[in-house]
């Protein structure tokens, strides 16, 4: 199997260099008048070998071609065309190392032999894309008016992780051939990886204009729209999934779109379809948890999060989320366990720390609640509600001066937005002020 090696490039080579590369027959002496009327071909055994090798390759008998070409090369080692043909025959036999060596030898003998650079790059593309860049770059230099070498160079650069250079190279190929599906699709794919989603969208649309039934181009368009949060993304995913219904990842993205639109039943239905023939991923489980939490289905959410923690037991966010649900259910023991597990794994989990403070307050453990609030204050500016809880904790612990100051801080920041808490705070301030004055 040729594995993508372009036979067209080989044909180009034969046409362009065949006459130059064949061993020249010894010129006959000046012909007589009679012989001039009937010109005859001068036999040359070496040229016959090249013809035999070409005939063998035409019938895909690469072993015979290799044998014949090696005979030629042993007699004439400096003929670039012969090494080129030998490389092609080795490629047909999937003898990659020998093929590479022969293509390289052909380029050494004829540095302007563009098809040899092109085929060498093709040979390396699936095996070592970074090494393929150099010969493909040379092919582009020698064939500046052809788009195909630029496309292949772009592919080698893309696979080597050189996204910006790949995009520029694909754009060069696009200028030479604006209606090439492969170029438009590859350019869209690369621009999307460069976080240039709006430009990628245009290229995927161009690719679909050329090949309307292309599922990969449809998916590329859907993903570029998804990244831009465009409403059309849902319709494009739906069209794509009609062609590729088993693509679980795309179904997850469609489910997320439904979730963000607060279309919760549709979101769950897509997740169910995604998981029908595949194990749920951690991302799909997290999304499912978000959906059932939005529906306030606490027991279902607990089940999903426990399943997710089986996959990633040290995920601090999952522990924090589970702790918050247990807090909603007033299962304080389970909630504290999960919140502390989250903070032990990742001490920067502010939500977990905030929920732990709330839990300790609700349990009446005011001293511990204040410790949590102190830690939280080092990581974020306390909100009015935090000052109100802090004030109550101080109040319950008979730390009157600190309680009065915290109540006042709450009133100053809240600006009357919460009537009940403001009334309570003002009443406590009056009482605490009198008690502190009396104490003096």
The pair of three-digit structure tokens given for residue 378, joined into one six-digit string: 């080092």
Q: Is the pLDDT of residue 290 over 80?
A: yes
Q: How far apart are CA 346 and CA 325, in angstroms?
A: 19
Indicate the pLDDT class of residue 47, thresholds 50, 70 and 90. Answer: confident
Is residue 72 exposed (0-12), middle (13-18) or buried (19+ Cβ within 10 Å)?
buried
Give yes or no for residue 136 having a pLDDT over 60. Answer: yes
Domains for the chain: give ranges and CATH numbers.
Answer: 1-20+46-170 (1.25.40.10), 382-440 (no CATH)
- pLDDT tens for each residue of 138-167: 999 999 999 999 999 999 999 999 999 999
- Separation CA 349–CA 347 (nearest Å): 6
- The structure's pTM equals 0.78
17-30: pLDDT as tens digits: 343 333 332 222 22
């Amino acid at each position: 199997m040729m594995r993508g090696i372009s036979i067209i490039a080989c044909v180009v080579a034969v046409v362009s260099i065949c006459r130059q590369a064949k061993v020249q027959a010894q010129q006959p002496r000046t012909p007589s008048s009679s012989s001039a009327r009937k010109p005859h071909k001068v036999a040359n055994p070496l040229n016959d070998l090249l013809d035999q090798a070409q005939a063998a390759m035409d019938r895909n008998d690469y072993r015979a071609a290799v044998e014949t070409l090696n005979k030629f090369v042993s007699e004439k080692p400096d003929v670039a065309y012969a090494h080129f043909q030998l490389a092609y025959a080795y490629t047909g036999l999937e003898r990659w190392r020998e093929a590479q060596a022969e293509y390289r030898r052909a380029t050494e003998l004829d540095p302007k032999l563009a098809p040899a650079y092109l085929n060498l790059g093709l040979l390396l593309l699936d095996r070592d894309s970074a090494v393929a860049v150099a010969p493909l770059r040379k092919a582009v230099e020698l064939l500046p008016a052809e788009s195909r070498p630029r496309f292949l160079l772009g592919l080698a650069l893309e696979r080597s992780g050189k996204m910006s250079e790949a995009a520029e190279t694909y754009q060069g190929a696009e200028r030479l051939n604006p209606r090439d599906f492969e170029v438009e699709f590859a350019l869209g794919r690369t621009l999307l990886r460069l976080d240039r989603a709006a430009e990628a969208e245009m290229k995927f649309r161009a690719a679909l204009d050329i090949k309307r039934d292309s599922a990969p181009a449809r998916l590329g368009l859907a993903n570029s729209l998804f990244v831009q949060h465009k409403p059309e993304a849902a319709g494009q995913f739906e069209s794509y999934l009609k062609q590729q219904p088993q693509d679980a990842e795309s179904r997850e993205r469609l489910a997320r779109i439904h979730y963000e639109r607060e279309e919760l039943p549709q979101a769950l239905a897509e997740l169910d379809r995604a998981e029908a023939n595949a194990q749920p991923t951690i991302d799909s489980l997290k999304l499912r948890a978000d959906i059932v939490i939005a529906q306030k289905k606490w027991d279902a959410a607990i089940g999903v999060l426990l399943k997710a923690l089986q996959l990633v037991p040290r995920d601090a966010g999952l522990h924090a989320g589970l702790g918050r649900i247990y807090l909603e259910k007033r299962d304080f023991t389970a909630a504290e366990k999960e919140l502390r597990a989250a903070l032990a794994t990742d001490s920067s989990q502010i939500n977990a720390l905030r929920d732990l403070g709330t839990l300790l307050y609700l349990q009446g453990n005011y001293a511990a609640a204040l410790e949590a609030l102190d830690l939280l204050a080092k990581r974020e500016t306390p909100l009015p509600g935090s000052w109100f809880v802090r004030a109550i904790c101080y109040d319950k612990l008979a730390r009157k001066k600190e309680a009065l100051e915290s109540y006042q801080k709450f009133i100053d920041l809240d600006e009357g937005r919460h009537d009940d808490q403001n009334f309570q705070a003002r009443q406590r301030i009056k009482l605490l002020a009198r008690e502190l004055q009396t104490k003096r």
